[in-house]
Structure 1
Amino acid sequence: MVVSFIVPPEISSENPAERTAGCTRMVYPMPNIYELIVAAVLENAGYDVRYIDCVMEKKQWRDFDRFLSKDDSRVYLLWTVNLSIETDIEAAKLIRSKRPDAFVLFLGPGATYFTDKFLLDDKMMVVRGEPEDTVAELIECFHSERDVDNVKGLSFLKDGQICRNPTRPLIRDLDRLPFPARHFIEKYPYSNPKLKVHPYTTVLTSRNCPYQCIYCVPSSLTFAREIEFKAAKGHKPPVSSRSVENVVAEIDELASKGYKSIAFIDDNFIVSAKRLRPICDAIKKHGLLWGCQARVDAITDEIASILGDAGCCFVDLGVESFNDEILAYIKKGITRDDIFRGINLLKKYKVPVKLNILIGTSPLETEQTIKETLKESMKLGVSQVMFNIVAPFPGTEFYELALKNDWIVGGHYVPTDVQRHSILNYPNLSTQQMTRLLYRNNMSFFLRPSFIWLHIRKFRSWHDFVTAFKALKIKLFG
């Protein structure tokens, strides 16, 4: 049985949705290892698995149409985030017109939350939350022609009625999952402007985050996991982590296949020095360039020393604001002093820092607090700052607050690119003000001569310069 993972062409005139982080449009392409883990599970089960990324292959809608006219897949899988909902539904309709007997499965947070939108007929189904075990069981049902009534984590239509099967228990032993089937994407030219060397890939060593930030949209796999778990249990799911030995084995495998750089995309990669040290030893052994995401309060002198010794090329720190009242309101769990302490420790060991800052995370935000945040960011001398506008994502506490207080323009959520637009309107800070300040902050930070000179010196090739320039152009101007 042929099972095909599909990334359809973007149907709108905008950049394609970025499906890994899941909350922006694409600035530079990232490999979606989440669906590649599912692909590996199905390959190990003996199915004929294929992977078609129309975005990376620069295929247009007419090319997708021609492909489907000749294709013989029995099952199509689409990884859906909020910004891809419209595109993915249109892709499913086209699949149905060309392949009337095929099954179409939607995975990811967009489908997990907005389930009913995707159930257009009895062969279009939604795999909610963590997908690996549900997809494996479901494909076996198709193969053996059994009904799907008892497949946990599945929503589907039956006799015109929506059936929502019980939630599937979380995968706690992540070591039993195979490594992502990266051989499907080796032909695609992925690169990361922060690492400036390729072949490049991403690695996930854990799922979810224990903290309670009210606005937080974690990476798309863990957000799907969180949405489904919250719906069943009423609170965030526990964190699941791979063993250090399993992570090191993947690093060794990637190095043996010629990969030169890795971005760890855990919501919180740094947990303890005990876990970090052997992973960094494996990275050092192979001379890989790498970076990760972390909380500022996870950075100790020992942690910073380990990162510096392992040649860490960047640490993404989510700080959002330098205002203690705002940080407390959004339940960030850190203070202004924590931010400065963490950054200074990383700078002490020459670890480049990237700050992630969200404009408008609370009604306490004003033009003045946003200007102060930019001023502090410029003084810190960090490598990069990513400014975005917070969005009230359904499934978050912030969404409920925004609905209750009528902060959402038009009264209901509309998928929006947080790098570009706002759908919020506070009494003391308007949509237009936030959008204007976002643009101003980006221009002020990224077009400084000191920033440009710092990064030009780091390019190793003309290709790396062009990649970074394109990413910056998209970031600033769309």
Structure 2
Amino acid sequence: MKSKKDESMKLTFLIPPVLDNKNPAERTAGCTRVVYLAPNIYELTVVALLEKEGFDDIHYRDFVYKRESREVFSDFLKNDASDIYYIWAVNLSIENDLLALELIRKNNPKAYVIFMGPGPTYFTFKCLLSDKEIVVRGEPELTVLELTKAIADGADWTSIIGISYLEEGKVKHNPSRPLMKELDDLPFPARHFIQDRRYFNPKLKIGPYTTMVTSRNCPFHCIYCVPSSLTFAREIEYQKEHGKKPFISFRSIESIEAEVEQISKEGYKAIGFMDDNFIWNEKRTGDICRIMKKYGIVWGCQARVDAITEEIAQMLGESGCRYVDLGVESFNDEILAFIKKGITSKQIYTAIGWLKQYHVPVKLNILIGSSPLETKETLRHTLREAKALKVDQVMFNIVSPFPGTEFYAMAKENGWLETKEYVPTDVQRESILRYPSLSSRDMERILFYNNVSYFLSPHFVITQLKRFSNWSEFTHALKALKIKLFG
């Protein structure tokens, strides 16, 4: 293996193509299949850190963006001589990424393959087929940097904390790495590696679009929750040792403004904030709103309904906020209590009322089958309420028992799984759950009916058509809707 001291290491970050004949996994949110593409800023932050530390032969190869085939991927590997490949994997991508690993090994058996993300953090053993695979568990940045430096210098890397690897055919788990306390120490994501890609978020209706994060983690305890892929990896690893969720980390307002300024200079017109919970208090929210208004970038975020005040709704409305994603899941208070959502249906109506008052577009996220208390009638009630509220968008998904969540343990214990173990499914059309009052087929039929009933309703169609300013925006949104409804 070459050393930095004499010859530059070739480092390649891969997003493998679809190899398992399924819709590609969304690797930033981590819990769905792709509806519209978004840049993986978690991976690009690792790229930026390596670049900052002097690695100058870094490549970023995304085979999903251009829908490239297995043959194109194989040809690439045949002609590539990377020393290290990096793959950010989520639960839904693991099987596909293992197929990619087979092709890497066929063409480049001497290269290291470093896996990161929640998938490898939980399914560590699956990713270790030889002594050339290494799993970086949990928060990846500092571990990947230390590991890459050691490999580049020909040094022993087997004692580095935060990794797992094979030792004499057995999986060796080194101790966990402590979580970062200062997120401001990290460089901004290396967006210059993807400047040729015109990402578009139909909720923002303008491009080019990028994503950004101002905090890590969420203190709440929704039983089903799969947070953003970085947070999920962080949670899975931290809970192994501490038995609880990790602390929340925040970036400073100064760091946030500096990144927004850089994003603006790079020509981006829209930002989707990927924080698991964006709104914490009025002061922080107000500071960020002023930044967004200053640079004239439209944006959207995710928030809890109990965090929305009238003052915050007004700030959002005056600063170019084009959507707020609200995780409401159900309008039934018993179900909300069972899933430990920590909100009431009254709070849902109040938050939506304030946001609509200040002309902030609202998107509701609703889960089908989130509790064994769910029935066909509770689901009919939820659909009626969602339509009656006349918000801008509603996203219906079937709950999935993702390994690493409390809901997964409950599903196994109570026999709600239709399979012996978790099977990756597309939550936008498939169920592997069954309850006494609802079968998996019931949930799939209700999901399809809800989607067609809502997305083809006159209110939704007219509302969306009014918001488009050109044909390109309309066609992007139409493609996303087609994927949502029909795959």
- TM-score normalised over the length of structure 1: 0.99
Is it true that 1:241 corresponds to 2:250 in the alignment? yes
* Matched residue type, 2:264: A
Instruction: Indicate the residue corresponding to 1:384 in structure 2.
Output: 393
Which of 8, 15, 19 lines up with 2:23 in the alignment? 15
How far is the alpha carbon of 1:186 from its aligned partner? 1.1
Structure 1 gap segments, 5+ residues each: none
Instruction: Indicate the residue corresponding to 1:415 in structure 2.
Output: 424
Is it true that 1:280 corresponds to 2:289 in the alignment? yes
How far is the alpha carbon of 1:58 from its aligned partner? 2.5
How far is the alpha carbon of 1:24 from its aligned partner? 1.2
3-state SS of the aligned residue for 2:322? strand
3-state SS of the aligned residue for 2:92? helix
Instruction: Indicate the residue corresponding to 1:45 in structure 2.
Output: 53
What CA distance in whole angstroms lies between the structure 2 residues aligned with 1:94 and 1:158? 23
What CA distance in whole angstroms lies between the structure 2 residues aligned with 1:402 and 1:211? 20
- Tell me, yes or no, if the aligned pair for 2:323 and 2:362 is still in contact at 8 Å: yes
Count the aligned residue pairs. Answer: 478
3-state SS of the aligned residue for 1:417? coil
* Matched residue type, 1:206: S
Structure 2 gap segments, 5+ residues each: 1-8
* Matched residue type, 2:12: S
User: 1:32-71 maps to which residues of 2 (within 5 A)?
Assistant: 32-47=40-55, 48-71=57-80
3-state SS of the aligned residue for 2:288? helix
User: 1:239-278 maps to which residues of 2 (within 5 A)?
Assistant: 239-278=248-287
- Tell me, yes or no, if the aligned pair for 2:390 and 2:459 is still in contact at 8 Å: no
What CA distance in whole angstroms lies between the structure 1 residues aligned with 2:28 and 2:172? 28
Instruction: Indicate the residue corresponding to 2:32 in structure 1.
Output: 24
* Matched residue type, 2:420: G
How far is the alpha carbon of 1:311 from its aligned partner? 2.2
* Matched residue type, 2:202: P
3-state SS of the aligned residue for 2:210? strand
Is it true that 1:104 corresponds to 2:113 in the alignment? yes
How far is the alpha carbon of 1:57 from its aligned partner? 2.6
Q: Describe the superposition over 1:315-348 as per-residue Cα deviations: whole angstroms up to 9, x where unpaired.
A: 0000000100000000000001111111111111
What CA distance in whole angstroms lies between the structure 1 residues aligned with 2:66 and 2:418? 36
What CA distance in whole angstroms lies between the structure 2 residues aligned with 1:330 and 1:61? 41
What CA distance in whole angstroms lies between the structure 2 residues aligned with 1:49 and 1:406? 47
How far is the alpha carbon of 1:66 from its aligned partner? 1.0
- TM-score normalised over the length of structure 2: 0.97
Instruction: Indicate the residue corresponding to 2:5 in structure 1.
Output: none
3-state SS of the aligned residue for 2:395? strand
* Matched residue type, 2:482: K
* Matched residue type, 2:223: I
Instruction: Indicate the residue corresponding to 2:6 in structure 1.
Output: none
What CA distance in whole angstroms lies between the structure 2 residues aligned with 1:333 and 1:450? 30
* Matched residue type, 2:24: P
Identity of aligned residues (%): 58
Instruction: Indicate the residue corresponding to 1:457 in structure 2.
Output: 466
Instruction: Indicate the residue corresponding to 2:218 in structure 1.
Output: 209
Instruction: Indicate the residue corresponding to 2:196 in structure 1.
Output: 187
Backbone CA RMSD of aligned residues:
0.8
* Matched residue type, 2:166: L
How far is the alpha carbon of 1:450 from its aligned partner? 1.9
3-state SS of the aligned residue for 1:319? strand
What CA distance in whole angstroms lies between the structure 2 residues aligned with 1:54 and 1:22? 17
3-state SS of the aligned residue for 1:83? coil
What CA distance in whole angstroms lies between the structure 2 residues aligned with 1:128 and 1:461? 44
What CA distance in whole angstroms lies between the structure 1 residues aligned with 2:384 and 2:467? 25
Which of 1, 4, 13 lines up with 1:5 in the alignment? 13
* Matched residue type, 1:389: I
User: 1:414-453 maps to which residues of 2 (within 5 A)?
Assistant: 414-453=423-462
Instruction: Indicate the residue corresponding to 2:4 in structure 1.
Output: none
What CA distance in whole angstroms lies between the structure 2 residues aligned with 1:384 and 1:160? 50
Instruction: Indicate the residue corresponding to 2:363 in structure 1.
Output: 354
* Matched residue type, 1:112: T
3-state SS of the aligned residue for 1:457? helix
Q: Describe the superposition over 1:417-438 as per-residue Cα deviations: whole angstroms up to 9, x where unpaired.
A: 1111010000111101111000
What CA distance in whole angstroms lies between the structure 2 residues aligned with 1:70 and 1:121? 22
Which of 81, 85, 108 lines up with 2:94 in the alignment? 85
3-state SS of the aligned residue for 1:393? coil
How far is the alpha carbon of 1:411 from its aligned partner? 2.5
